[in-house]
Amino acid sequence: MKILAVDTALSGCSVALLEHDQILAHIFEAMDRGHAERLAPIVEEAVRGFDLTALDRLAVTTGPGTFTGQRVGLAFMRGLRLALKRPLTGVTTLEVIAASAMYETKQSRAAVIHDARREEAYLLLQDGDATVQQPVVMLFSDAIERIRAFGPCAVAGTGAEAAKEGLGGEFVLSGVRQPDALWVARLAQKLAPSNEAPGPLYLRAPDAKLPGGKTLV
């Protein structure tokens, strides 16, 4: 299976091109802004010399993440889906972080806690291939208690270091903070293709407001 995957949902812009387990191309760039301007050039760089019509699948992160970042990756890959007539698989940012963290730490379980600001966190709990807690937003302190109840595991995400301070030594701090398209591709390979295009996963309303205090939709 040949698969092209991208991620722009959080503080990184990445692309990966895989054929089964072989990595044909992989680019990751850390960034808080500029995903829309950077995505097309790094995809072009990654697939240079590769025939896109040879692709079997496409994959992208759906969120949670920044509102602009989520839309950039999804819009780009939905466009490729239509142009190439290939199935597009969506996976969550937190699932991707969890898979990478379990691989890095050699742990079979992972908790992903990502700083969502406002003293809140995005949380996911993963036990092997099973998601025990789907992505959710909650108070950061409550997320730590949820991880404690989950039990020993790898802890990853931008909130991992702060969370580890309140957890015991049986919890393993992972160095994984952001999703990476390499793991988007690896996860998507395990999923059945869908005829439907994935949409964004929003866990709360945007911070930005329209004139008069109306919320952006």
Q: 89 - beta bridge partners?
A: 59
pLDDT for 208: 44
The side-by-side arrangement of strands in the sheet containing 22-30 is 22-30, 12-19, 2-7, 57-61, 88-91
Helix H segments across 151-196? 160-165, 181-189
Which pLDDT band holds residue 217 (cuts at 50, 70, 90)?
very low
- 25-79: per-residue pLDDT in tens? 999 999 999 999 999 999 999 999 999 999 999 999 999 999 999 999 999 999 9
Domains in the chain: boundaries:
2-92+179-189, 93-173
Do 123 and 155 meet the contact criterion of CB atoms below 8 Å apart?
Answer: no
Class in CATH terms, 2-92+179-189: alpha beta
Query: What pLDDT is recorded for position 89?
Result: 98
Q: Write down the pLDDT at residue 212.
A: 52
Segment 111-155, tens digit of pLDDT: 999 999 999 999 999 999 999 999 999 999 999 999 999 999 999
As a whole number, mean pLDDT of residues 174-188 equals: 98
* Euclidean distance between CA atoms 16 and 4, whole angstroms: 6
Phi-psi region of 20 (alpha: psi -120 to 50; beta: other; left: phi over 0): left
Query: Measuring CA to CA, which residue among 119, 79, 99 is closest to residue 182?
Result: 99
The radius of gyration computed from the CA coordinates of the chain, to the nearest angstrom, equals 17
Res 13: pLDDT:
97
Q: Which fold has domain 93-173?
A: Nucleotidyltransferase; domain 5 (3.30.420)
The domains spanning 2-92+179-189 and 93-173 adopt the same CATH topology:
yes
Q: What is the pLDDT of residue 207?
A: 52
Angle between helices 93-105 and 181-189 (to 10 degrees): 90
* pLDDT in the model for residue 210: 41
Mean pLDDT of the chain: 94
Looking at residue 206, its pLDDT comes to: 60
Segment 7-14 shows an average pLDDT of: 97
What's the confidence (pLDDT) of residue 168?
85
Helix (H, G, I), strand (E, B) or coil at 53: helix
Render pLDDT for 185-205 as a digit per residue (tens, 0 to 9). Answer: 999 999 999 999 999 999 976
Residue type for 129, please? D
Neighbour tally for 141: CB within 10 Å: 13
